[in-house]
Amino acid sequence: MRLIAIVRLSTPDNVARVCQELVDAGLPGVEVTLNTPGALEAIAALGGAVGAGTVRTAAQARDAQNAGAAFLVTPTVAPEVIRAASVPVICGALTPTEIDLASASGAAYVKVFPASAMGPGYVKEVLAPMPELKLIPTGGVTLAHVAAYAAAGAVGVGVGSSLVTEDIPELRKRAKAFIEAAESAWR
C-alpha cells in the first residue's frame, strides 16, 4: 500500500471509470469514499479491485464488504469497523494516543489524518518511540510530499485531489507521476 488514490466525486457518473483508470494505471490501492454517490455500486462493478473509504460504522463495513471492497478505510479510530471487517482496515488517527489505539485495535495500517496539519517531521517523531507502526499519511498530500513521507518512515501515502480528477487524460498523467514518485521513494 505505498500509494492509495482516494476517489471522492460529487456525482456517480464517472466513479467506476475513474477507479478503473487508476487500477489499470497500476495504483496499488484505490479507495472509493462512501460519501461519493454510487460508491457501493462502483465497488461492486470493479469486482474486488478497490477498497471503501469513509467507513464509520459496522453496518457500512458490512455493506462495503458485501459489495466486494478489498479493504476499508476509516477517517477516525473505529474499533467497531475493525471488529466487523474480514478485510484489512486502514484506520484514521492523528495523535500518538489515537495512532497507538488504532494499531492495538487491529488496524492493518494507520492513516495519519489530516497529514497536512503535521507534515513529515511529525510522522518521524511518532515513529521514534513506536517504529513498528505502519503509517500512511493522508490529507493534503501532493506529489512533492511523497519522498519526504517515505524518508520519515511512512509505509505509503493516501492521495486525493492532487491525484484524482474526472479529466481522464490528466488522471493518467497524474497517476503515472505518483506511481513513479512512490516507486522511487520506497526503493
What CATH class is the domain 3-185? alpha beta
Rounded distance between C-alpha atoms, residue 5 and residue 81, angstroms: 21
Ordered alpha helix ranges (H), 11-57: 15-25, 39-45
Question: For the segment 20-63, what is each residue's pLDDT rounded down to a tens digit?
Answer: 999 999 998 999 999 999 999 999 999 889 999 999 999 999 99
CA distances from 98 to 36, 54, 77, 79, 174 (A): 26, 17, 7, 11, 32
Query: Where do we find the cell 501532493?
Result: 142
For the chain, the domains span 3-185
CA-only gyration radius of the chain, Å = 15
For the cut 90, the answer to whether the pLDDT of residue 132 exceeds it is yes
* Catalytic residue (one of 21, 31, 124, 176): 31
Identify residue 178 by its one-letter amino acid code: F
Question: For the segment 143-155, what is each residue's pLDDT rounded down to a tens digit?
Answer: 999 999 999 999 9
In a 3-state reduction of DSSP, which class is residue 30?
Answer: strand
* Catalytic residue (one of 111, 125, 132, 134): 111
Identify residue 169 by its one-letter amino acid code: P
Is 31 designated active site? yes
Identify residue 155 by its one-letter amino acid code: V
In a 3-state reduction of DSSP, which class is residue 26?
Answer: coil
What one-character-per-residue DSSP string does 62-127 give? HHHHHHT-S-EE-SS--HHHHHH-SS-EEEEE-SHHHHHHHHHTT-SEEEETTGGGT-HHHHHHHH
Q: How confident is the model at residue 160 (pLDDT cuts 50, 70, 90)?
A: very high
Is 124 designated active site? no
Burial of 71: CB neighbours in 10 Å, binned 0-12, 13-18, 19+: buried
Q: What percent of the chain has pLDDT over 90?
A: 98
Identify residue 63 by its one-letter amino acid code: D
In this structure, what C-alpha cell is assigned to residue 128? 521514534
What does pTM read for this prediction? 0.96
In this structure, what C-alpha cell is assigned to residue 79? 474499533
